[in-house]
């Protein structure tokens, strides 16, 4: 049985009465009177504090708390969106509580909750947790028509499931569940194997490297959009290791040659404005591995930029 741990108290850390931060505008949800499938908010945050399936260094189980802590101090004002919290109501359902350390069991439990969330009107924003959680976050959408995912990630994550699912298997699992279109945006040279590139090409997937983003960000975004142009439902995922290792040291597999935070935020805003977006996630933020809160800060701001973009603020 899956349940929620109560969300934290949201309050601003600022002593300036003119400041408005996400700590002022996010509401904790009272689960005694709240069905996750019918929340009284436009957007709901959902913590997924699990890293039992991580390939590499653990630590992402601490991600949801760190992302929330960083987000509560982030200002709500975007220069094209205005104050985010005034246009859309944002709730926090708290963290999923699962009585298992088995990756397959965790995926089953998360999928049950994700199905309820996707059945409601609110857009879920999942705070990971390792990348294996992408599979249960997205799989229930496969019953709603054709589904596409834009994955901002250094890696393709289409490994075969052997003894158990891992943070490297979610998109192969999703293809097997009926995923129709997939883009890996921000992939690195020499960070994957030819067998996985071949698999993705056979499935019609699109790879847009971090170098392509650096050459022409707008063209890279157009390539991603074109690859998912024909699907009914769209899901956006940010693996924090898509960022340059110096900007996001607190991940399972930090690698050089990644996106800048500025590029990440701009891409997220661009993609978030699509009316088909049914969910968003930030995964692989591992606070025990972080330095100076850089990764959690970037993850929290990615959430802020998603909220700004999905509210119509996708321009510069």
Q: How far apart are the first and last CA of the chain?
A: 44
Report pLDDT for 25.
95
Coil/strand/helix, residue 265 = helix
Q: Which two tokens stand for residue 24?
A: 């002022």
> pLDDT category, 29, cuts 50, 70, 90?
confident
28 pLDDT more than 90: no
Burial-class residue 42 by CB neighbours within 10 Å (0-12, 13-18, 19+): middle
Could you tell me if 230 and 181 are in contact, meaning their C-beta atoms sit under 8 angstroms apart? yes
- Listed in sequence order, the residues at least 6 apart from 97 whose beta carbon sits closer than 8 Å to its beta carbon are 2, 3, 4, 5
Report pLDDT for 4.
87
Flag the least confident range among 82-91, 148-157, 255-264: 82-91
**Cis before 129? omega within 30:** yes
What does the domain layout of the chain look like in residue ranges? 3-310
The CA R_g of the chain, rounded to the nearest whole Å, is 18
Mean per-residue pLDDT for 100-105?
94
> pLDDT category, 131, cuts 50, 70, 90?
very high
- Listed in sequence order, the residues at least 6 apart from 129 whose beta carbon sits closer than 8 Å to its beta carbon are 47, 48, 49, 50, 51, 60, 61, 63, 64, 283
Mean pLDDT score of the chain: 94
Between CA 95 and CA 243 the distance in angstroms is 25
Report pLDDT for 2.
64
Between CA 173 and CA 241 the distance in angstroms is 21
Residue 77 per-residue DSSP state: E
Could you tell me if 164 and 103 are in contact, meaning their C-beta atoms sit under 8 angstroms apart? yes
Superfamily of domain 3-310: Ureohydrolase domain (3.40.800.10)
Residue with tokens 């987000």: 71
Mean per-residue pLDDT for 130-145?
97
How far out from the chain centre does Cα 305 lie? 12
> pLDDT category, 99, cuts 50, 70, 90?
confident
Mean per-residue pLDDT for 179-204?
97
88 pLDDT more than 90: no
132 pLDDT more than 50: yes
């Amino acid at each position: 049985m899956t349940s929620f741990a109560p969300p934290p108290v949201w309050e601003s850390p600022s002593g300036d009465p003119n400041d408005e931060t996400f700590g002022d505008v996010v509401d904790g949800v009272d689960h005694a009177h709240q069905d996750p499938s019918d929340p009284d908010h436009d957007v709901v945050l959902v913590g997924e504090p699990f890293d039992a399936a991580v390939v590499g260094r653990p630590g992402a189980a601490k991600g949801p708390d760190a992302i929330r802590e960083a987000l509560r101090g982030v200002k709500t004002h975007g220069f094209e969106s205005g104050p985010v919290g005034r246009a859309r109501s944002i709730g926090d359902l708290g963290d999923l509580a699962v009585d298992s350390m088995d990756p397959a069991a965790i995926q089953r439990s998360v999928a049950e909750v994700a199905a309820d969330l996707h059945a409601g009107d609110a857009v879920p924003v999942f705070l990971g947790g390792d990348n294996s959680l992408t599979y249960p976050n997205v799989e229930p959408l496969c019953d709603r028509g054709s589904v596409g995912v834009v994955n901002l990630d250094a890696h393709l994550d289409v490994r075969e499931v052997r003894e158990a699912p891992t943070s490297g298997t979610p998109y192969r699992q999703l293809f097997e569940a009926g995923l129709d279109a997939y883009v890996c945006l921000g992939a690195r040279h020499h960070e994957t194997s030819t067998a996985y590139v071949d698999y993705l090409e056979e499935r019609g997937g699109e790879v847009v490297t971090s170098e392509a983003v650096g050459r022409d960000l707008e063209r890279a975004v157009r390539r991603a959009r074109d690859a998912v142009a024909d699907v009914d439902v769209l899901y956006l995922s940010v693996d924090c290791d898509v960022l340059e290792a110096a900007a996001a040291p607190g991940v399972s597999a930090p690698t050089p040659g990644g996106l800048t935070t500025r590029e990440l935020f701009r891409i997220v805003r661009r993609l978030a404005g699509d009316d088909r977006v049914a969910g968003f996630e930030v995964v692989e933020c591992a606070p025990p591995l972080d330095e100076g809160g850089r990764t959690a800060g970037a993850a929290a701001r990615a959430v802020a930029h998603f909220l700004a973009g999905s509210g119509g603020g996708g321009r510069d």
